[in-house]
Structure 1
C-alpha cells in the first residue's frame, strides 16, 4: 500500500516544473519548498519522461554529442579489455 502524501499531485507537478522549466537545482527548489529532494528528483524524472516524445528528430547538437560520445567509447573499449586481462603476479616472475 502506498504512502499518504500531504502534498497534492498538482503541487509536485508545479515543483518539478520549477526545476525543469527554470533550470534550477533540485536541492535548491526542495529546500525552498521544504520537501525531500529525492522525492522531488523522482517527480522531475517523471516529468522529463512525460515530456519526452518518442521518435522526435534529433537536433544537430544532439547528433554531434552522440558522435563525440561514440568516438570516446571506441577509444575506451580497448583500455577496458586490457584491464580485464589477468596480470601475472610478481612471484611468478621470480621463479
Structure 2
C-alpha cells in the first residue's frame, strides 16, 4: 500500500542521487531542497534497501529449483553407490 506524498517520485529519486553523489552533509542538502532531513534520510535508506534487494527473475527461480532437484537425485545416487561399493568390498573379502 503506497502512501501519497507531497513530493513527486522523480523529485525523491533526484534528491537521493544528489545525496549519494555529493560530499555535502545530508542536512545541508535537505535544507537546500526544502525537505525535512529525516524525510530525506528515509528516502536514502529506502533506496539503499531496494538496491540491495535481490531481483526476482522467474527464469532464475525455475533454474534454481531444477538444479536443487538434480542435486538431491545425485546425492541419492551417490548414497546408493557408496552402499553398493561397501557391500561388494565385503563380498570380495570373503
TM-score by length of 1: 0.47
The structure in which a higher percent of residues are helix is 2
Larger Rg: 2
Bigger relative contact order, structure 1 or 2, given CA contacts below 8 A and separation 6+?
A: 1
